[in-house]
Chains A and B, each alone.
Chain A
Amino acid sequence: NAGVMQNPRHLVRRRGQEARLRCSPMKGHSHVYWYRQLPEEGLKFMVYLQKENIIDESGMPKERFSAEFPKEGPSILRIQQVVRGDSAAYFCASSPPGLAGDTQYFGPGTRLTVL
């Protein structure tokens, strides 16, 4: 009974490169959420997706960041032309289909370091 899977666990990029973070939700879950955590802070919501749809991207920076959750395969958070300020832990959570408010289960995170 695998939980939420994220890879890579650690990612190092130089300024200007692209970062791709992957998230496989728990089996049977069709809702995916991405959060960002800076050191010594709580998690901040970025985007909420269902299969092939972005439901809420109110926490996503307007430029360089994009997310998708295709019909097949994992959800992808993509950061183009990374800058030092993008260094953070990025967490994915998933919840089952159904009424709003279902419990979100978190993955282990991807720690992005931008040199």
Chain B
Amino acid sequence: GQQLNQSPQSMFIQEGEDVSMNCTSSSIFNTWLWYKQDPGEGPVLLIALYKAGELTSNGRLTAQFGITRKDSFLNISASIPSDVGIYFCAGQLNNAGNMLTFGGGTRLMVKP
């Protein structure tokens, strides 16, 4: 089956720093999504990308859908303590049903 490799697995940064994480896939996806999960909660959608090459922002978050449709990155600028959590990428192949394939997650820790 399809696999998503997400890196880095964890990051420990200083408040105010920028953060970058990415996902690569062995095969293409038609949609890329980025979610954030807080402890004890479900994933919350941050950004959805629907076209190869698309660059989308949501506040301090920016994500891009790779041209090859096999990768995506998420950047967080000027991190703050509430950015702490686990960030997941997810790919969706619309013509194979609606299931999401998730990466392994990036655990972000922010030092005030």
Contact = CB atoms under 8 A, between A and B. Distances in A.
Interface of A: 4, 6, 31, 33, 35, 40-45, 48, 55-56, 58-59, 91, 93, 95, 99-109, 111
B43 interface: yes
B43 to A, nearest CB: 5
Contacts of B95: 100
Contacts of B99: 33, 45, 48, 56, 58-59
Given A43-B43, A108-B42, A100 B98 contact: yes
A103 B8 CA distance: 25
Given A42-B104, A101-B30, A33 B41 contact: no
Given A56-B97, A100-B98, A101-B31, A106 B44 contact: yes
29 contacts: A6-B42, A31-B98, A33-B99, A41-B104, A42-B88, A42-B103, A43-B43, A43-B90, A43-B100, A44-B102, A45-B101, A48-B97, A48-B99, A55-B98, A59-B99, A91-B42, A95-B98, A100-B94, A100-B97, A100-B98, A101-B30, A101-B92, A101-B94, A101-B98, A103-B45, A104-B100, A106-B42, A107-B42, A111-B40
B102 A103 contact: no
A6 B97 CA distance: 23
Contacts of B44: 106
Contacts, number: 73
Given A91-B42, A106-B42, A106-B44, A41 B98 contact: no
B42 A109 contact: yes
Nearest to A47: B99
Nearest to B6: A42
Interface residues of B, number: 28
A59 B90 CA distance: 16
A77 B48 CA distance: 28
B105 interface: yes
A3 B88 CA distance: 20
B82 to A, nearest CB: 18
A84 to B, nearest CB: 21
A59 to B, nearest CB: 7
